[in-house]
Amino acid sequence: MDVVYDRCCGLDVHKKMVVACVLTPETKEIRTFSTMTDDLLEMVDWLGKHGCTHVAMESTASFWKPIYNLLESAEFNVLVVNAKHMKNVPGRKTDVKDAEWIAGLLRHGLLQASYIPNREQRELRELIRYRRSLIEERAREVNRIQKVLEGANIKLSSVASDTLGKSGRAILEAMIDGEKNPEVLSELAKGRMKTKKPELQKALNGLMGEHQRMMLAAQLRHIDYLDEEIARLDEEVKRRMLPFEEDLELIDTIPGVGRRTAEQILAEIGTDMAQFPSAAHLCSWAGLAPGNNESAGKRKSGKTRKGNQKLRAALVEAARAAARTKNTYLSTQYHRIAARRGKNRAAVAVAHSILTIVYHMLQRRHPYIELGPTYYEERRKDAVIKQAIRKLQSLGMEVSVKPVA
């Protein structure tokens, strides 16, 4: 087998240690290093003394990141490889054998590098992922408030669509201050809620205990803190997204995709689509493509792979939002698939379509074109007509079809 890289290294990465195997035309050397920064810098110097040009390692949890950062700054060609692509031979499983196996595969050019964005995009990705975590934590805290209210026999959510709207927030703060009279609390309603005062009085007639007031106060403080942090992150993300404003505006035109979702999509996949050979490759990388598992002529589970879970979650959320839009192709696609395959599969299929659209929009720098709700029927017009005729004939009808002049 031909040698592609003369001087290379394979790394078996763990939380507390990393095993390195260097292969050169003269020798093979194996050493174990701690994952502390000083020891990793020593490893970088050791690789430099051997004249290594390429380094490969598994994408093990997040333990590969500090090693990658140091190797990247030292200008090595670093490959982070999916562990599924280079499984070792069963029965020969040790850290040293793993490092040798990785180095051997790398030396002969048998490893395919995973997509790792540049440092600026990785920083932006971390900020946006953290912001999403805070948004999810805020939603959980709102649910905790609802749980406390239910325990106190307060049915505020049955009347107010937003428990933390202006009216709901004013009522909650009054309850925390000790107000118990439903009539007094209902007078705090604002805007459209003023028309629901009789219903509010019934909903606010409960048994609020002292410990529940304490819990509500703590939960509101937590939500206020999260709102401040989310706003601060919004400003930082907006500043870093200024060079990509044109791309954001393009993606934002897709039904169901809002500003924050567009920011997350760009942070995860970047703007250069040359790194993905096709839209199908991008969808597979995101974990939105059906699995391909066939043996002895039988199709087995077509379950989607894990892929990029953050990107997948954002796209599925956008797909469910697109399903609620009116007179759009994506909405029609969702309802057509959901009727026979279920809502979850329909959401994944629409998410796949959204990511495919994003790929071509970024590649061609072309705005979104709405195909309309009847696009699918127009493509298979003859089949739809024949199907309708057969259905009517099965009901005992005689049908003749003429096109409208």
The tokens for 79 are 């490959």
Are residues 229 and 127 part of one domain? yes
Listed in sequence order, the residues at least 6 apart from 368 whose beta carbon sits closer than 8 Å to its beta carbon are 250, 253, 254, 357, 361
Instruction: Report how far residue 371's alpha carbon sits from residue 57's, in angstroms, rounded to the nearest whole number.
Output: 45
| Residues paired with residue 295 on neighbouring β-strands, in sequence order | 298
Strand spans (E) along 59-159: 77-81
Are residues 151 and 74 part of one domain? no
Structure confidence at residue 397 as a pLDDT band (50, 70, 90):
confident
Give 347: exposed, middle or buried? Use CB within 10 Å, 0-12, 13-18, 19+.
buried
Supply the pLDDT for residue 296. Answer: 66
Instruction: Report how far residue 346's alpha carbon sits from residue 104's, in angstroms, rounded to the nearest whole number.
Output: 43
The predicted-structure confidence for 334-377, as pLDDT tens digits, reads as follows 999 999 999 999 999 999 999 999 999 999 988 899 999 988 88
Supply the pLDDT for residue 404. Answer: 77
Which of 3-7, 93-97, 314-318, 322-326 is the least confident region? Answer: 93-97
The predicted-structure confidence for 251-299, as pLDDT tens digits, reads as follows 999 999 999 999 999 999 999 999 899 999 999 999 998 877 766 677 7
Are residues 139 and 59 part of one domain? no
98 assigned to some structural domain: yes
Supply the pLDDT for residue 380. Answer: 83
Residues 34 and 80 sit within 8 Å (Cβ to Cβ): no
Instruction: Report how far residue 335's alpha carbon sits from residue 139's, in angstroms, rounded to the nearest whole number.
Output: 27
Instruction: Report how far residue 351's alpha carbon sits from residue 357's, in angstroms, rounded to the nearest whole number.
Output: 10
Are residues 189 and 126 part of one domain? yes
Are residues 166 and 141 part of one domain? yes
Which one, of 322, 320, 332, lies nearest residue 379 by Cα? Answer: 332
Mapping DSSP to helix (H, G, I), strand (E, B) and coil, where does residue 109 land? coil
- Report, as an integer, the average pLDDT of 120-126: 94
Are residues 216 and 164 part of one domain? yes
In this model, does residue 92 exceed pLDDT 90? no
Are residues 77 and 34 part of one domain? yes
Are residues 84 and 48 part of one domain? yes
Supply the pLDDT for residue 387. Answer: 87
Instruction: Give the ranges where 152-207 is alpha helix by DSSP (H).
Output: 166-176, 182-186, 197-203
129 assigned to some structural domain: yes
Chain centroid offset of residue 181 CA: 45
| Mean pLDDT of the chain, nearest integer | 90
Supply the pLDDT for residue 114. Answer: 85
Q: Which of 107, 133, 153 is the last residue of a domain?
A: 107
- Report, as an integer, the average pLDDT of 369-392: 87
Which one, of 288, 402, 303, 293, lies nearest residue 355 by Cα? Answer: 288
Count of domains for the chain: 3
Domain coverage including residue 83: 8-107
The tokens for 246 are 């044109």
| Residues paired with residue 81 on neighbouring β-strands, in sequence order | 58
Supply the pLDDT for residue 88. Answer: 58
Percentage of the chain with pLDDT > 90?
67
- Report, as an integer, the average pLDDT of 64-79: 93
Q: Which of 57, 77, 107 is the last residue of a domain?
A: 107
In this model, does residue 213 exceed pLDDT 60? yes
The predicted-structure confidence for 99-118, as pLDDT tens digits, reads as follows 888 898 999 888 888 888 89
12 assigned to some structural domain: yes
358 assigned to some structural domain: yes
In this model, does residue 394 exceed pLDDT 70? yes
**What kind and span of H or E run contains 12?**
strand 8-13
Instruction: Report how far residue 71's alpha carbon sits from residue 398's, in angstroms, rounded to the nearest whole number.
Output: 76
Mapping DSSP to helix (H, G, I), strand (E, B) and coil, where does residue 29 land? strand
Are residues 146 and 69 part of one domain? no
* Residue 338: HSE in the Cβ half-sphere, 13 Å Cα cutoff: 16
In this model, does residue 16 exceed pLDDT 80? yes
Structure confidence at residue 70 as a pLDDT band (50, 70, 90):
very high
In this model, does residue 231 exceed pLDDT 70? yes
Mapping DSSP to helix (H, G, I), strand (E, B) and coil, where does residue 21 land? strand
Instruction: Report how far residue 379's alpha carbon sits from residue 184's, in angstroms, rounded to the nearest whole number.
Output: 61
Chain centroid offset of residue 301 CA: 23
**Looking up tokens 């994003």, which residue turns up?**
358
394 assigned to some structural domain: no
Strand spans (E) along 189-335: 294-295, 298-299
Which one, of 288, 359, 339, lies nearest residue 317 by Cα? Answer: 288
Are residues 330 and 285 part of one domain? yes
75 assigned to some structural domain: yes
Residues 85 and 111 sit within 8 Å (Cβ to Cβ): yes
The predicted-structure confidence for 132-175, as pLDDT tens digits, reads as follows 999 999 999 999 999 999 999 999 988 988 889 999 999 999 99
Instruction: Report how far residue 248's alpha carbon sits from residue 88's, in angstroms, rounded to the nearest whole number.
Output: 43
Structure confidence at residue 193 as a pLDDT band (50, 70, 90):
confident
- Report, as an integer, the average pLDDT of 318-336: 95
In this model, does residue 303 exceed pLDDT 90? no
Instruction: Report how far residue 319's alpha carbon sits from residue 214's, in angstroms, rounded to the nearest whole number.
Output: 39
Are residues 165 and 146 part of one domain? yes
The predicted-structure confidence for 19-59, as pLDDT tens digits, reads as follows 999 999 988 999 999 999 999 999 999 999 999 999 999 88
Q: For position 146, which CATH number holds?
A: 1.10.287
322 assigned to some structural domain: yes
The predicted model scores a pTM of 0.84
Supply the pLDDT for residue 381. Answer: 83
Structure confidence at residue 305 as a pLDDT band (50, 70, 90):
confident
Mapping DSSP to helix (H, G, I), strand (E, B) and coil, where does residue 129 land? helix
Residues 208 and 175 sit within 8 Å (Cβ to Cβ): yes
217 assigned to some structural domain: yes
Q: For position 76, which CATH number holds?
A: 3.30.420.40
Q: Which of 77, 107, 137 is the last residue of a domain?
A: 107
Supply the pLDDT for residue 295. Answer: 66
Are residues 249 and 264 part of one domain? yes
